[in-house]
A and B are shown apart, each in its own frame.
Chain A
Amino acid sequence: MVRKIFIILVIIFVVIQFIPPGRPDNNPVKGKDLMEVANVPQEVASLLKTSCYDCHSQQITYPWYSYVAPVSFLVSRDVREGRKKLDFGHWGDLKKRKQIKALDEISEEVESGEMPMKIYPIMHPDARLSDAQRQQIMDWCESYSDEILN
């Protein structure tokens, strides 16, 4: 009985490998990425790159396990939805008003701990933000949006 279940699971596992996960490609556009558009302080830039850019950009690095179903489905979905909400790779295409909103929401999400998503730092421990790092990002959001407004 246990053997049967195991075999069925293995078959399912093998079969789902053939379902295309629809993994989003990287399509960086020169001059549009946040880092090219704005003068982001070094430390904040590195926080954003480590903790956000793996979903919210056009510079996504897919780890090996993101090629294995069913994880591939989850990763693909997270990237798709992440980019829909915020894509630093197309920051330069956003109107100033949308940038202000994005910064406000980044600050809120980072402050409340909604972002980075809880599941992410499990596999990417570097991406875990300390309170001080969260504050750093929030301060940057504040000063950058002041800069945009003035």
Chain B
Amino acid sequence: MKKTLLTIVTGLFFAGIFTVSSGFQTKTTQKEVNPPEGLITIPDNVNTILQNKCFDCHNSKSESMKAKMKLKIDHLATLKKKKIISKLDNIAEAVEEKDMPPKKFLKKYPEQALTDEEAKTLIDWANNTADELMK
């Protein structure tokens, strides 16, 4: 009886460790934004901004349905050409017009605001990449 209990407890313990570690694993793959088969490769400097300032809402596991529907950064590179163009155009526009990050959100988390330099990097990248894809 004691032995069975011990087995169960050890089993649960390892199952726990497994779940936690696989949880970490999905988190890292989730942050993989440049899948090898993608049409575009997001440069590191842009990637950093996207990860720090946009990813928390715009990822495929996000709790915000609206943000997820509009843009999933971790899926961006895998989309069809016209979709990528459309998404990039929207990124450039939303940042340019300061619609993103949302004002309401920034009131709560002012540190998530884009610096002018970050905004410019994002806008230029999105515009140039979209134009490149149009060729």
Contact = CB atoms under 8 A, between A and B. Distances in A.
B82 A149 contact: yes
A136 interface: no
A146 B69 CA distance: 23
Interface of B: 69, 81-83, 85-86, 89-90, 130-131, 134
A94 B82 CA distance: 16
B134 A98 contact: no
Contacts of A101: 85-86, 89-90
B82 A98 contact: no
B65 to A, nearest CB: 11
A149 B83 CA distance: 12
Interface of A: 96-98, 100-101, 103-105, 112, 145-146, 149
A105 B70 CA distance: 10
B90 A97 contact: no
Contacts, number: 28
A115 to B, nearest CB: 14
Contacts of A97: 85, 89, 130-131, 134
11 contacts: A96-B134, A97-B130, A97-B131, A100-B86, A100-B134, A101-B85, A101-B86, A101-B89, A101-B90, A105-B86, A149-B81
Contacts of B86: 100-101, 104-105
A146 B82 CA distance: 8
Nearest to B81: A149
A148 to B, nearest CB: 8
A149 B135 CA distance: 8
Nearest to A102: B86
A81 to B, nearest CB: 15
A38 B129 CA distance: 26
